[in-house]
Structure 1
Amino acid sequence: MTIGKDTIGMIGVGLMGHGIASNIVKHGYPLVLLDHPGNQPVDSLLAAGAAKVASPAQVARQANIIILCVTGTPQVEDVLFSPNGLLQGLRPGTVVIDCSTAIPSSTVRIAQAVTEAGGQFLDAPMTRTPKEAAEGRLNLLVGGERELFERCQPLLRCYAENITYVGPIGSGHRMKLLHNYVSLGCAAVIAEAAACAQRAGIDASVLVDVLANGGGGGVALERLRPFIQSGDDSGLRFSLSNAHKDLGYYTTMAEETGATHIAADGIEQLFKRGAKEAAPNTTLPHLVALLANDKT
């Protein structure tokens, strides 16, 4: 164990979590991983000194700070509340940092359960892509007590470039859903327009150039540009199923707060349709092709 460093527990070593874990190890923190079939290959992490254990409870027994990076609310709740879950091994003072995308009302309940078990909680969801995760350049949106946020900043800066304190517990997840609604919504509009352009006989490069030089320019277009022009989906490695999930979380939040969500409902249905028609783990750029080939 490295002297003076907290032991970090990592639950969820997928496309995003693997980059987080790699940067934590690179900065000299002892790391304990939950062994899970959804993990990316962890050989390089183990070679760098990380250990792996079989249950969330075992992670909690060995770590001072635990980072969750799983798919969504059902998975977070399972990690915490299952018979061999995190709460079964949580030690007093342990910090739980949830980097997943989750329904904020569930986040508040989970934070309360962690606090009642003697732990502390931050919700710190991330934006950007696996590329930035590997580079240690994620954006984090953090909710929780400011004093705890400040104390955890040295760890967070191992894998994040821009860190924003948003407010009390749940605020990070609320801001993440707002962000994803806007970013995924823009991508959905561009994908639908690109499919229409294809059917209307508009050259893909002309479409992209006109949008980029006008009101359609921005991050969403640049991430979709390679697919629109040449079928390369590497610019946006985000699945249609996750897009559908995130829009569903957003509309749930909007309903719970009494906010209007008319446009969000339509975008959610578009992603639902794409996820249903596509193979598992199909990335969002393929929505262009699915819509262009739609026979209905």
Structure 2
Amino acid sequence: MKKIGMIGIGMMGHGIATNIVKHGYPLAVLEHAGNQPLDALKAAGVTTYGKPRELAAAVDIVILCVTGSPQVEAVLMGDDGVLQGLQGRKAGTVIIDCSTAIPTSTERLAKLVMEAGGRFLDSPMTRTPKEAAEGRLNLLVGGDAALFEECKPLLACFAENITHAGPVGAGHRMKLLHNYVSLGFVGLLAEAAACAERSGVAPEVLVDVLAKGGGGGLALERMKPYILSRDPSGLRFFMSNAAKDMGYYTTMAGDIGAARAIADGVHETFERALREGDPQALVPELVSLLAKKGDGAI
């Protein structure tokens, strides 16, 4: 079987790595301070490397699952980076970027990978750490159709729905569109719940009426535990990541001259959450921040 390397064993990456091992692939991961505990993976036979260059030189496929474009660029192009590890290897090493990234950066990096003799797919994911652990992520893949088919059995180890979105960059474009719509719904619900709280509408009444009408749906289900009982676990997504993803979306929209007035408002809402709260707070906690007494204007 192909040897797999993985960089980024965080909340999402740990589940991905666990499912790759369950399906019998030999796996190596990069030691990093941001990783989740590796004890269970090491007990299952996973090996580790200290530098991206060393990891890339030892495997056939490298999966990246890091925070965003700056981290992807650093991992690939930095000192002792993945691109250095491709030098001297047999051509054809595959880089699969499961991070959320700016599409223009993705296209530039894919070109560098191909110039180094490698191949590239952008394969960002949707859903949460729960589905990552269950092997039920959604993947939005950009890249050559033949390479997509070649890698699909590996991707199926940790994904339930796998969509080929188009050429390189299309996966990241689709991911940003998805996250804009998803975070837009969540931001709107948080603002409405904050308004309801300040105006004396009972949270259970708000949730019940929305669920029976046009406000029903997955966003409400994920926000409902916090609206009703201040339990943020329904959406385990950091406020810092929400602001980052919305910033990437507005950058993408600006690059192509697309309308973005609503997106700018959603972006500023999450940026305000960073300024006034904890960047590591979970997104449902936006309700409490917006409900604080004082000037409610963004």
Alpha-carbon displacement from aligned partner over 1:154-180 (angstroms, at most 9, x marks no partner): 000000000001100000000000000
Question: Which residue does the alignment assign to 2:73?
Answer: 77
Between 1:174-183 and 1:82-91, the stretch displaced more is 82-91
For 1:115 and 1:166, locate their aligned partners in 2 and report how far apart those are by CA, in whole Å. Answer: 20
Alpha-carbon displacement from aligned partner over 1:252-279 (angstroms, at most 9, x marks no partner): 0001111010000011000000122112
For 1:59 and 1:258, locate their aligned partners in 2 and report how far apart those are by CA, in whole Å. Answer: 40
> Of 10, 15, 21, which residue of structure 1 is paired with 2:17?
21
Question: Which residue does the alignment assign to 1:138?
Answer: 137
Question: Which residue does the alignment assign to 2:213?
Answer: 214
For 1:294 and 1:79, locate their aligned partners in 2 and report how far apart those are by CA, in whole Å. Answer: 43
Is contact 2:132–2:158 with CA below 8 Å preserved after alignment? yes
C-alpha deviation, 1:280, in angstroms? 3.2
CA spacing shift, 1:236–1:69, aligned 2, 3 Å = same
* 2:244 is the counterpart of 1:245: yes
For 1:243 and 1:108, locate their aligned partners in 2 and report how far apart those are by CA, in whole Å. Answer: 23
For 2:272 and 2:279, locate their aligned partners in 1 and report how far apart those are by CA, in whole Å. Answer: 13
Question: Which residue does the alignment assign to 1:124?
Answer: 123
For 1:236 and 1:62, locate their aligned partners in 2 and report how far apart those are by CA, in whole Å. Answer: 36
SS at structure 1 position matched to 2:232: coil
TM-score (norm 1): 0.98
* 2:20 is the counterpart of 1:58: no
% of aligned pairs identical? 64
SS at structure 1 position matched to 2:188: helix
Question: Which residue does the alignment assign to 1:259?
Answer: 258
SS at structure 1 position matched to 2:95: strand
> Of 89, 100, 110, which residue of structure 1 is paired with 2:85?
89
* 2:229 is the counterpart of 1:233: no
Any gaps of 5 or more consecutive residues in structure 2?
none
For 1:205 and 1:57, locate their aligned partners in 2 and report how far apart those are by CA, in whole Å. Answer: 53
For 1:214 and 1:253, locate their aligned partners in 2 and report how far apart those are by CA, in whole Å. Answer: 33
For 1:276 and 1:55, locate their aligned partners in 2 and report how far apart those are by CA, in whole Å. Answer: 34
For 1:127 and 1:164, locate their aligned partners in 2 and report how far apart those are by CA, in whole Å. Answer: 11
Alpha-carbon displacement from aligned partner over 1:165-224 (angstroms, at most 9, x marks no partner): 110000000000000000000000000000000001011011011111111111111000
What amino acid is aligned across from residue 39 of structure 1 in structure 2?
Answer: N
C-alpha deviation, 1:294, in angstroms? 4.3
Question: Which residue does the alignment assign to 2:194?
Answer: 195
For 2:174 and 2:279, locate their aligned partners in 1 and report how far apart those are by CA, in whole Å. Answer: 28
For 2:216 and 2:35, locate their aligned partners in 1 and report how far apart those are by CA, in whole Å. Answer: 35
For 1:213 and 1:195, locate their aligned partners in 2 and report how far apart those are by CA, in whole Å. Answer: 20
* 2:111 is the counterpart of 1:112: yes
Alpha-carbon displacement from aligned partner over 1:209-243 (angstroms, at most 9, x marks no partner): 11111111111110000000001111100011100
Question: Which residue does the alignment assign to 1:148?
Answer: 147
Question: Which residue does the alignment assign to 2:269?
Answer: 270
For 1:260 and 1:8, locate their aligned partners in 2 and report how far apart those are by CA, in whole Å. Answer: 40
Between 1:157-166 and 1:90-99, the stretch displaced more is 90-99
SS at structure 1 position matched to 2:5: strand
Is contact 2:273–2:279 with CA below 8 Å preserved after alignment? no
> Of 37, 43, 49, which residue of structure 2 is paired with 1:47?
43
For 1:47 and 1:264, locate their aligned partners in 2 and report how far apart those are by CA, in whole Å. Answer: 45
Any gaps of 5 or more consecutive residues in structure 1?
none
What amino acid is aligned across from residue 112 of structure 2 in structure 1?
Answer: A
Aligned length: 292
For 2:142 and 2:272, locate their aligned partners in 1 and report how far apart those are by CA, in whole Å. Answer: 33
> Of 25, 31, 38, which residue of structure 1 is paired with 2:34?
38
What amino acid is aligned across from residue 94 of structure 1 in structure 2?
Answer: T
